[in-house]
Amino acid sequence: MKNNIPDIYFIDIETSPWLSLCYGTIWEPIVVKILKYTQILSMSYRKFGDKTTHHLAQNQFKSYKPGKLNDRQLLIEISKIINLVAKNGGYIVAHNGDSFDWKIIQERVIYHRLPPLPDISTLDTKKLIKSVSKLPSNKLTHTSVFLGNGTKLKHEGMDMFVGCMDGDPKSWATNEKYNNKDVDIMHDDFRDLMPYVKLPATFSRINTDEDYEINCSNLICLSTNLMKNGLRRAVNGWKQSYQCKDCGRYTTDTRIIKKENGNRT
């Protein structure tokens, strides 16, 4: 038996570089003036469990003019998706998203003076795999290979992004494939990691009624098909530990069992 899994959306953005005036060398530039700030070129997204990955990009809108970037309309559409996920109590997942994707999106929302984004729960697959492993690199292309989910799409590097900035249709097409692939491998990495990572207690699904039923703490499982797996010590007694028969995840009940009942298993 499984409860309803919350809406979980995987997102990945692609951005243009800053344009600036510099002194110094290529390897050690001294930026003296920023001419243009980073813009969001595109965002791919996919709901957990869906087979289709969707793509939004500046060149999809009627207002787009090749060679002239303006991510305002794109940010409006991105905001709609985020608001929908937040309204349904869902989660936004991105690799290195807490440090990059989420901050860049908010930065551009502020730039365009759009309505503030809602408070929403985010999960970062880079942080998740770091919490349970010691890989030589936690970049998406390395973690996905380690987990057997393929690797990022190879492209021309910065030339592809410059091509998008210049309005080159082939560059935009390559960018879409690259953006979508990142979301697809992130989706599969998240699926494979969830039985092993420990999320904050707020993600537990526990019914505390008298006839309570505890759920697996794996966010994409939430099964009630659990078996008791011994006790864990607590300050005022014990807590019952369980293992999920569906995904294998271990879950500990928050309810305290008194010491005199500590022989329960």
Please write the tens of the pLDDT for every residue from 179-202: 999 999 999 999 999 999 987 654
Q: Contact, 125 vs 44, CB < 8 A?
A: no
pLDDT at 210: 57
Query: Quick count: other Cβ atoms within 10 Å of Cβ 76?
Result: 14
**Per-position DSSP letters for the chain, written without gaps between them:** -BPPPPPEEEEEEEEPPPEEEEEE-SSSEEEEEEEE---EEEEEEEETT-S--EEEEGGGSTT-BTTB---HHHHHHHHHHHHHHHHTT-EEEETTTTTTHHHHHHHHHHHTTPPPPPP-EEEEHHHHHHTT---S--SHHHHHHHTTS--PPP--THHHHHHHHHT-HHHHHHHHHHHHHHHHHHHHHHHHHTTT----GGG--B--STT--B--S-TTT-B--EEEEEEEEETTEEEEEEEETTT--EEEEEEEEPGGGTT--
Query: Is the pLDDT reported for residue 102 higher than 90?
Result: yes
Report domain extents, the chain. 8-193, 201-261
Structural tokens at position 198: 């420990």
What whole-number distance in Å separates Cα of residue 148 and Cα of residue 187?
13
Cα–Cα dist 96/123, whole Å = 9
CATH of 8-193, one of 3.30.420.10, 3.50.50.60, 1.10.3210.10, 2.30.29.30: 3.30.420.10
Give the tens place of pLDDT for each residue, 64-89: 999 999 999 999 999 999 999 999 98
Mean pLDDT calculated for residue range 33-56: 96
Single-letter residue type at 174? T
Entry pTM: 0.87
pLDDT band at 169 (very low <50, low <70, confident <90, very high): very high
The answer to whether 182 touches 95, Cβ cutoff 8 Å, is: yes
Q: Compute the distance between CA of residue 216 and CA of residue 227 in angstroms, rounded to an integer.
A: 10
Please give the C-alpha separations between residue 68 and each of 34, 56, 96, 108, 112, in angstroms, as whole numbers: 17, 17, 28, 16, 16
